[in-house]
Chains A and B, each alone.
Chain A
Amino acid sequence: MTDVAPPHAGALDDALLAARLCAYDPVGLGGMILRGGGDLRDAVVAALHQALPEGAPLRRIPAHVDDAALLGGLDLGATLAHGRPLRRQGVLAAADGGVVVLPMAERMGDATAARIAAVLDQGEIDGAPARVAVVAFDDGVEDEAPPMALIERLAFRIDLGDCRPRPIAPGQPVARAASVAVPTDMLEVIAGTALALGIDSARAPLFALRAAIAAAALDGRDEVREADVIVAVRLVLAPRATRMPAPPEHEQASAPPPLDDGGQSDSGEEEQAARQALDDVVLAAALAALPRDVLEQLAAGRTRSRAGRARGAGERRQSAHRGRPLGARAGVPRGGLRLSVIDTLRAAAPWQRLRAQRIEPVRIRRADLHIRRFETRAEMLTIFAVDASGSSAAARLAEAKGAVELLLAEAYVKRAQVALVAFRGMAAETLLPPTRSLTRARRALAELPGGGGTPLAAGLAAARGLAEAARTRGRTPFIVVLTDGRANVAADGSTQREQAERDAEDAARAIGQAAIGAAFVDTSARPRPEGARLALAMGARYLPLPRADAAAMHRAVTAAQAR
């Protein structure tokens, strides 16, 4: 047998088909997201453009477009030049009836995406029609993706990554059919498939329905048939799947209950069996359209990772100094904020005439000043606070070390930093200040001696100190505590058990109040309530892992951190 065809073999054909479907019903389907593919994407856009009526506009919108250019508004340049207000049409309104291309959609900010989404929903801007088909190019790597608001509103998502270029014949404008009928059982198949694939949004089956109608119309038919539904499900629903469908049940119970109109209620068993068979065919088509890695992920019961939620990436935050430009806002430059000269002049420009009425040498005022803003992703710092006391028996300490090493290796891959605090005897010690050096971290771990009391309070306090210091430097800290939870050395070094427990709880609460992400791994042989109580005070995930080996601990902590 020959090799199995690569998963994206037909992706270009799919994209071209999707382009024609979009051209048939641009408003209903919204458009498509094309991932990868380089120049092939331009061919798909050209195909979509050719399929639209003659003279349809085609516009490109950069990811950092400003509102005035996107939605229109007062044209400052022309207004100043002519001394009377002149409006300018936004790109979206100018593209009415045509195609809008969004290159590098993964870089588009949520605010811009929200504006475009609102236009897609309403088809107009302040009363002016803006019915467009959107083609978003996605060049994201790994965790980057276009904004969810766009993903949700564009019917098709096609990965052209593995396609080879080939000549594409120029297309003709698609003709609109008068009306396409949709039999009820086809509606049921679409709704049932969306349900089986775990797709919650009501938009998805609606897109599939419109795609099926468009497919039937392009084929010159006036009724939606099975083949149309299969195309629609493959192109619209499959990429949105969040779970593997349950194995098909061929019992009567799985048939849908009769609907309120009662027309189909006494349909025979034969018909129901036919429906069931159709359901299966359509589902199989949907699954066949999914790349294998996605299928495996779904089969493992994992939901697919969402945009921007990858571990190790840290929070997004606004920054005054560096990062991706986020536009300017009104403000006075001080405390390291940088003046945005262009935006300040732009803000001052309209008022020049008004201000000139009074004698004022400088016509830029405080309210005009704009400062620059940037967005950065905070780096992650994982702080391990490891209990090396005598009560953490040697074997368990070794496993904890192993787990830390696994986490370290992973943190290293993700370019995150790690730090290590050990507590034993009378006090806690920062064995490893925040670093990316795996070698240093390994050495510090290997040298970690065991034995002595459990100064848990001191260990937690040291971890919090590191976390807060990291936070002021703009990193996102995460504390992983590995202990058996039996504090017996108080903060002042005395060995009074009750005092020690109280101190530990206070230290834990301080971490919780600082809202530092944390996981608490209880390594005691028989987990006792102290551990859970400490975790609660810390606001940490409590992971009782008695007798756990290094790999299990690693898995549990990664899961907690991913939350």
Chain B
Amino acid sequence: MSFPFSAIVGQDEMKLALLLAAVDARIGGVMVFGDRGTGKSTAVRALAALLPPVPASQSGFQSSELPPPAPKAMVPVPFVDLPLGATEDRVVGALDLERALGAGVKAFEPGLLARANGGFLYIDEVNLLEDHIVDLLLDVAASGENVVEREGLSVRHPARFVLVGSGNPEEGELRPQLLDRFGLSVEVRTPQDLATRVEILKRCDAFERAPEAFVESWRSAEKKTLKRIARGRAAVGQVAMPDAMLARASSLCMAVGADGLRGELTLMRAARALAALDGAAAVTPEHIARVAPLALRHRLRRGVLDETGSTVRITRALEELAA
């Protein structure tokens, strides 16, 4: 049983980013920066557990060679925790050893990418992951398909998932190319006021003592969140994006010096997803302002001696735009 998503104290930005990614998977993954023990994996796990079951035909390993699942079969949203030392074999899949040994048959054993299809792939400490695995993950996350050509196997299967990475910048930098591929980025910090800290401790304690009762007491809040996501998903295609808002997003990107088009695209999608979550019919300047730090923060070019934080620069640019 996992901790209820709604019961996570604070960390509003991380929760918002995850909700946006749940509403529109095309936003791309979420990168969470922060110290250990700030509830990063708890939040991702909680969101995966909160989401309603998905059709079995859209989740996990899908292949024309498998018998199709029952048309109405539903399965829980997959959540895959990618271990740090995972080998390429385990990630993309490889020859099925058991069947090769037992029956002398060449068969494909799906890897973690296949298991994550239709759900979440969580990587703790992305910055410690080996480069070639990271490249592979980002490639598949962008194309939504895993292509395996090895050991005489030729397999392609859908692998659509929301990539969530976490890392502590103090323990190793992330390459900018890699950062840019994540749609949103958030910075989580431990709250520094006593009341919040006590509340975190209280809720964790309550959950450990009686998980069922705790989950039950948060049921209505969870239902509300779920409803918001469902409404957002249904509405995201219909949310209007006025030209003025597009212009605003572009000029914001130019003002802060975000490299490349990906920033603008993500900003637009994230603003639309937020509007859908909020039940608005059209994107407003306020939506853009709220998602701008998440969508742009990790794409700014930084001067070596510039000590100004990226978030501050975005806020400043937003204020100038509003003036």
Contacts and interface: CB of A to CB of B under 8 A. Distances in A.
A381 to B, nearest CB: 21
A201 B195 contact: no
B37 A204 contact: yes
A285 to B, nearest CB: 19
Interface string B25-45: 000000000011111010000
B290 to A, nearest CB: 25
Contact of B198 (A112, A187, A204): A187
B269 to A, nearest CB: 31
B205 A74 contact: no
B97 A85 contact: yes
A114 B84 contact: yes
A504 B81 CA distance: 50
Contacts of B12: none
Contacts of A67: 85
B198 A351 contact: no
A187 B205 contact: yes
Contacts of A152: 36-37
A539 B304 CA distance: 6
A353 interface: yes
A536 B38 contact: no
B137 interface: no
Interface in A63-115: 67, 74, 79-80, 83-85, 109-112, 114-115
Interface in B132-181: 150-151, 170-171
B241 interface: no
A259 B197 CA distance: 11
A84 B101 contact: yes
Contacts of B190: 200-202
Contacts of A114: 83-85, 124-125, 128
B289 interface: no
A481 to B, nearest CB: 15
A148 B83 contact: no
Contact of A28 (B189, B208, B304): B208
A17 interface: no
B204 A206 contact: yes
A79 B192 CA distance: 55
A112 B200 contact: no
Nearest to A205: B201
A67 B304 CA distance: 41
Nearest to A180: B209
Contact of B38 (A28, A188, A200): A200
- B84, B98, B303: most-surrounded residue (chain A CB, <10 A): B84
A191 B305 CA distance: 37
A546 B106 CA distance: 73
A190 interface: yes
Interface in A199-233: 200-206, 209
B78 to A, nearest CB: 14
Give the interface size bracket for A toward B. Answer: 35 or more
A532 B106 CA distance: 64
Given A110-B128, A367-B150, A148 B200 contact: no
Interface in B75-99: 81, 83-85, 88, 97-98
Nearest to B104: A354
Interface string B282-309: 0000000000000000000001110000
A179 interface: yes
B199 interface: yes
B244 to A, nearest CB: 37
Contacts of B316: none
A472 interface: no
Contacts of A85: 97-98, 101-102
Nearest to A349: B101
Given A194-B197, A203-B37, A535 B205 contact: no
A195 B201 contact: no
Contacts of A532: 305
Nearest to B34: A200
A357 interface: yes
A542 interface: yes
Nearest to B306: A536
B194 interface: yes
Contacts of A535: 305
Interface string A168-197: 000000000001001010011011101100
Contact of A148 (B36, B204, B209): B36
B227 interface: no
Interface in B178-223: 189-190, 192, 194-195, 197-202, 204-205, 208-209
Interface string A254-289: 001101100000000000000000000000000000
A195 B100 contact: no
Nearest to A353: B104
A350 interface: yes
B36 A351 contact: no
A275 B171 CA distance: 38
Interface string A120-164: 010000000000000000000000000011001000000000000
A401 to B, nearest CB: 27
Contacts of A194: 197
A118 interface: yes
A512 interface: yes
B304 A79 contact: no
Contacts of A205: 197, 200-201
B81 A118 contact: yes
B102 A182 contact: no
25 contacts: A28-B208, A84-B101, A84-B102, A85-B97, A110-B84, A110-B125, A111-B85, A148-B36, A149-B36, A152-B36, A179-B209, A184-B198, A191-B194, A192-B198, A200-B38, A200-B190, A201-B190, A202-B197, A206-B201, A209-B204, A256-B195, A259-B198, A350-B101, A353-B100, A512-B304
Given A114-B124, A118-B81, A149-B36, 18 more contacts: A67-B85, A74-B97, A84-B101, A110-B85, A110-B125, A114-B85, A115-B83, A148-B171, A149-B125, A152-B37, A188-B194, A191-B194, A192-B197, A194-B197, A200-B38, A202-B38, A206-B205, A259-B198
